[in-house]
């Protein structure tokens, strides 16, 4: 098409642009349609899979976890609603709801002891103890999923990482970086002293005492003045030191 100067030329150029645009839109639409079709296929296959392996999903935590990952990749959330296809097919909406309620219960019961911060491992153990009679096993992954559902309800539950461990927070108390570092330090023996904090973290005495006092006030730490060396120890119940101090908290009601 030969470019012609003048108004006619402009009109032609505009028409050409329009045509290209239409073409572009068509291509885009084609692509979208194709993708939608692919996704629909994915979903159908996923539903099929879920139907076939319903029992495995229910009974096997590892399998269940992988299933969730698959769903996530395809943009399906089996837990999105308690009604609907997924909930009915798998009945796992209830499963996580149940776990969620039990987790809230356990956190409330142990709060006077640990200040509202509990080790994920410990939480799972307590959960398993409670569900001893149930046929369905519970994994840490299940706990995390149940907790993320709780978060959606705005219940103030959160999972935080301290060092290599995961802690579940059930109170609004925010932990700042200093607190986090102390908790991490405490993981070695279950407690810290002011001296240790100063030395290991290279802090001033004031900074160490400030942080420890806040943790104490928040109920996350307990003091221990009974050691013969006379040094005050700050123990952290949420940081379970796997030794003779490991709790199974027999006063948690079942």
Partner 1 sequence: MQKLGDYKLPQFFNYPPYFTLQPVRDTREKQVQLWKEMIVDYCRTQKIFVIGLEDDFPLFSNPVIQRFLSHEAREVFLSALVSDGRAEWLDKGHRKCLILWHRIQDWAEIVLQFVKDNGLEDSVMTVEEIRSGIESRGTELHGVDRTILMRALKLLENKGKLAIFKGTSADDEGVKFSV
Which region, judged by CB under 8 A, interacts with partner 1, from 6-14, 120-128, 197-205, 240-248? 240-248
CB 146 within 8 A of CB 96: yes
219 is a contact residue toward partner 1 (CB under 8 A) = yes
Q: Which of 112, 156, 161, 188 binds partner 1 (CB under 8 A)?
A: 112
Q: In what order do the strands lie in the sheet with 165-169?
A: 117-119, 165-169, 158-162
Handedness of CA 109, 114, 119, 125 (dihedral sign): negative
Does 242 sit near partner 1 (CB under 8 A)?
Answer: no
Nearer to partner 1, 100 or 116 (CB): 116
Distance of alpha carbon 178 from alpha carbon 212, whole angstroms: 9
Residue 119's beta-bridge partner residues?
A: 167
Which residue in the set 89, 137, 209, 249 belongs to the binding site for partner 1 (CB under 8 A)?
249
Cα–Cα distance, 86 to 26 (Å, whole number): 35
CA 122 vs CA 26, 128, 245: distances in Å: 57, 10, 12
Q: Does 227 bind partner 1 (CB under 8 A)?
A: yes
User: Does residue number 231 form part of the binding site for partner 1 (CB under 8 A)?
Assistant: no
Which one of 49, 63, 97, 235 is in contact with partner 1 (CB under 8 A)?
235
| Binder of partner 1 out of 55, 133, 204, 250 (CB under 8 A) | 250
- Short-list 128, 92, 122, 96, CA closest to 107: 122
130 binds partner 1 (CB under 8 A): no
245 binds partner 1 (CB under 8 A): yes
Residue 117, beta-bridge partner list: 169
- Residue 4 half-sphere exposure toward CB, CA atoms < 13 A: 8
DSSP state letter for 89:
H
Nearer to partner 1, 102 or 114 (CB): 114
Q: What CA–CA distance (Å, rounded) separates 14 from 20?
A: 10
Task: Give the nearer residue to partner 1 in terms of CB position, either 180 or 189.
Answer: 189
Contacting partner 1 within 16-55 (CB under 8 A): none
179 scored as a contact of partner 1 (CB under 8 A): no
As a whole number of angstroms, the distance between CA 43 and CA 33 comes to 15
Q: How many residues bind partner 1 (CB under 8 A)?
A: 24
CB of 127 vs partner 1, minimal distance in Å? 18
Site for partner 1 in 182-211 (CB under 8 A): 191
Q: With respect to partner 1, which residue has the nearer C-beta, 145 or 233? A: 233
Sign of the Cα pseudo-torsion (196, 170, 160, 166, in order): positive
Binding residues for partner 1, rule: CB under 8 A, are 112-113, 115, 191, 216-217, 219, 222-228, 233, 235, 237, 244-245, 247-251
């Amino acid at each position: 098409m030969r470019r012609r100067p003048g108004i006619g030329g402009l009109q032609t150029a505009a028409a050409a642009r329009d045509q290209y645009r239409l073409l572009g839109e068509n291509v885009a639409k084609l692509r979208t349609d194709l993708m939608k079709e692919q996704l629909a296929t994915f979903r159908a296959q996923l539903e099929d899979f879920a139907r076939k392996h319903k029992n495995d999903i229910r009974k096997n935590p590892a399998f269940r976890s992988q299933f969730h990952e698959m769903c996530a990749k395809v943009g399906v959330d089996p837990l999105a609603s308690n009604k609907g296809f997924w909930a009915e097919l798998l009945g796992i909406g209830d499963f996580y709801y149940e776990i969620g309620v039990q987790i809230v219960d356990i956190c409330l019961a142990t709060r006077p002891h640990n200040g509202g911060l509990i080790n994920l491992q410990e939480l799972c153990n307590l959960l398993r103890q409670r569900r001893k009679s149930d046929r369905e096993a519970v994994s840490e992954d299940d706990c995390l999923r149940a907790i993320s559902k709780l978060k959606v309800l705005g219940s103030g539950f959160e999972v935080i990482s301290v060092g290599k461990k995961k802690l579940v927070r059930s109170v609004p108390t925010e932990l700042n970086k200093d607190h986090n570092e102390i908790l991490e330090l405490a993981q070695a023996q279950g407690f810290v002293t002011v001296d240790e904090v100063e030395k290991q973290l290279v802090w001033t005495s004031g900074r160490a005492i400030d942080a420890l006092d806040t943790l104490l006030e928040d109920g996350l730490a307990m003091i221990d003045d009974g050691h013969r060396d006379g040094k005050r120890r700050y123990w952290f119940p949420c940081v379970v030191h796997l030794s003779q101090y490991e709790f199974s908290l027999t006063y948690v009601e079942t």
